[in-house]
Structure 1
Amino acid sequence: MTRRKSIFWWIFAVIFTIAIAYYQRVTGPTYPMRTTVTLNNVKMDFKLPRSQGDGDANIKLLIPQNDFKGKIIFKRFKSFDTLTTIEMKRDGKYLTASLPHQPPAGKIEYRVVIFSATEKADLTVAPVVIRFKGEVPAYILIPHILLMFLAMLFSTRTGIEALLKGTKTFRYTLWTVILLFLGGIVLGPFVQYYAFGAFWTGWPFGYDLTDNKTLIAFIFWIVALFVLIKRPTNRFWPIFASVILLLVYLIPHSVLGSEIDHTKAPKI
């Protein structure tokens, strides 16, 4: 492969990886939910949070109409709790309220209703679920994100190299394995621990999809690496492993992630 072609495919891989990372982020269950409602012929757009670190979760709606009011109805997710209703307070152009902080992996399901003297509107059809987490130190989170991005980048470039019968398939495979190991297998559990209080909640200890899909992708890349050590011209396994990691990244982030099931605890 010529240098010009190699540069072209690297640029393609970077753009492709950025697109996949963006897709994974915005389709995840912790990405803010966008909603549009109309009340008294006034159309309003909102973003409702679905993830919260330390402290209470603040719900802040831009509603400059002083005669509009709001309330939030909520309870802990997967619990026997009765619904609690809180009135939103006026703060200038905003209506605000706070959902009580939960332990890491705890969730609250909530509905927001805004109303006037003559009409009311639910902001969503179904309750919004917000997950609470601990703060992950930047010195762990930033390297984790960077390494996982680079792992996807090298995985994509490895697949392209194998498809085009390039000479650097083994080298790129080795880099993919190293980056995936450091970002997912080494730093991933630390991110999980700081965010949700457990180093590993995937197989065989649990069903956390984030942990499980990282493990599956890593296993396939290990297999690809060992196959290439024995048969350097093999193309199937690096291509297959790159497809597996792509499928992993197409799964929205945090789907089937850690959560507390209060129905398995005594009623309070």
Structure 2
Amino acid sequence: MIKKVLIWVLAIFLALAAMIYQRSTGPTYEYKGYLEHAGEAYKYKLLRSHETTDGAKIELPYFEGANYEATLNYKRYQTEDAITKLDFQLEDGRFVAPLPVQPAAGKMEYFITGSINGKPFTIPEEGEDRIVLRYKDPVSDFILVPHVTLMIIVIIFGIRAGLSAVLDPGTMRRWTVVAFSAMTVGGMILGPLVQKSAFGEYWTGFPFGGDFTDNKMLIMWVVWALALAIIGFKPKKKENISRAAVLGAALVMTVVYLIPHSMGGSTLDYDKVDQGIDPKEAIRTGAE
């Protein structure tokens, strides 16, 4: 019993570590940093993803009484547009400047310049890449919540299955079935529904596009399907191949999972939009 508890603790710890890592990486998570004022550091979180219901409001900490100004500089992503400048304004106690709303998959690149009591600052710092924000259509919680929940189950039980293959082979089939089932429903059924709601297409991975997230999901599903096909539902006299298959699937899943989320995702091609093509027909995927 103690051994099984320790395996579960290790599985949950590894899964949480993987989820925290992925949560802090990738092109859609907030850009974080600090502004200094009066000897203290104030944290900011700048948006890199927003729904198409309105323009994304970029927010900075506000320093009352300071000689403080900031300007949002932005343009459409990967275009030759001139930079638009917009001053931050105090709004309901928040220091904000809005980006213009874009169609789904539309991206805006932006940076911020300003000064606090005569000391200039630039976010990101000069020489660094500008921040890129992508718009997406709203996704119903009835689809999104079970999708996210099942994908969490996949990483927890997938790692548990891999640990079972090494430390507790009698249970590895049970957890392999759970991981594969959760991946099938959460990844291969609900995942495309999320993609359709957010960007208008059910599937933009192989063989139709280069969306890294869809391709990651496909790889994980295939390795678990292969592992399940190899191990079957009943123990074998010699389990070495079965144990290797489950461990291999868990390792591949973990490595693939750690690739930042939303890389190579849907991007609006503004050249096509400017030619009069419907934005829904001007979305591309793949490495940029």
Output the TM-score relative to the length of structure 1.
0.91
Residue 178 of structure 1, aligned match among 178, 181, 189:
181
Contact 1:37 1:123 in 2 (8 A): no
Give the match for residue 31 of structure 2. 33
Cα distance in structure 2, aligned partners of 1:37 and 1:116: 9
Give the match for residue 97 of structure 1. 97
Give the match for residue 47 of structure 2. 49
Cα distance in structure 1, aligned partners of 2:136 and 2:265: 11
How far off its partner does 1:11 sit? 2.4
Contact 1:80 1:267 in 2 (8 A): no
- Aligned-residue CA RMSD in angstroms? 2.2
Residue 242 of structure 1, aligned match among 235, 247, 250:
250
In structure 2, the residue corresponding to 1:167 is in which secondary structure? helix
Residue 13 of structure 2, aligned match among 15, 24, 29:
15
Cα distance in structure 1, aligned partners of 2:120 and 2:94: 17
How far off its partner does 1:262 sit? 1.8
Contact 2:176 2:246 in 1 (8 A): yes
Give the match for residue 279 of structure 2. none
Q: Which stretches in structure 1 are left out of the alignment for 5+ residues? A: none
Give the match for residue 141 of structure 1. 144
Contact 2:147 2:186 in 1 (8 A): yes
Matched, 1:193 2:196: yes
Q: Which has the higher contact order (CA 8 A, sep 6+)?
A: 1
In structure 2, the residue corresponding to 1:235 is in which secondary structure? helix
- Range with greater deviation from structure 2 (190-199 or 88-97): 88-97
Q: Report how many aligned residue pairs link the two structures.
A: 266
Contact 2:169 2:243 in 1 (8 A): no
Contact 1:158 1:242 in 2 (8 A): yes
Contact 1:39 1:115 in 2 (8 A): no
Cα distance in structure 1, aligned partners of 2:136 and 2:274: 23
- Range with greater deviation from structure 2 (180-189 or 58-67): 58-67
Cα distance in structure 2, aligned partners of 1:41 and 1:227: 62
- Range with greater deviation from structure 2 (164-173 or 147-156): 164-173
How far off its partner does 1:84 sit? 1.0
How far off its partner does 1:63 sit? 2.0
In structure 1, the residue corresponding to 2:268 is in which secondary structure? coil
**Residues 103 and 265 (structure 1), Cα distance of their counterparts in 2 relative to 1, 3 Å cut:** closer
How far off its partner does 1:266 sit? 3.6
Partner AA of 1:63 in structure 2 = Y
Contact 1:38 1:121 in 2 (8 A): no
Give the match for residue 266 of structure 2. 258
Partner AA of 2:140 in structure 1 = P
How far off its partner does 1:43 sit? 4.8
How far off its partner does 1:212 sit? 0.2
Identity %: 33
Give the match for residue 76 of structure 2. 76
How far off its partner does 1:111 sit? 0.8
How far off its partner does 1:93 sit? 5.2
Partner AA of 1:60 in structure 2 = E
Partner AA of 2:195 in structure 1 = Q
Cα distance in structure 2, aligned partners of 1:227 and 1:94: 57
- Range with greater deviation from structure 2 (123-132 or 227-236): 227-236
How far off its partner does 1:19 sit? 1.9
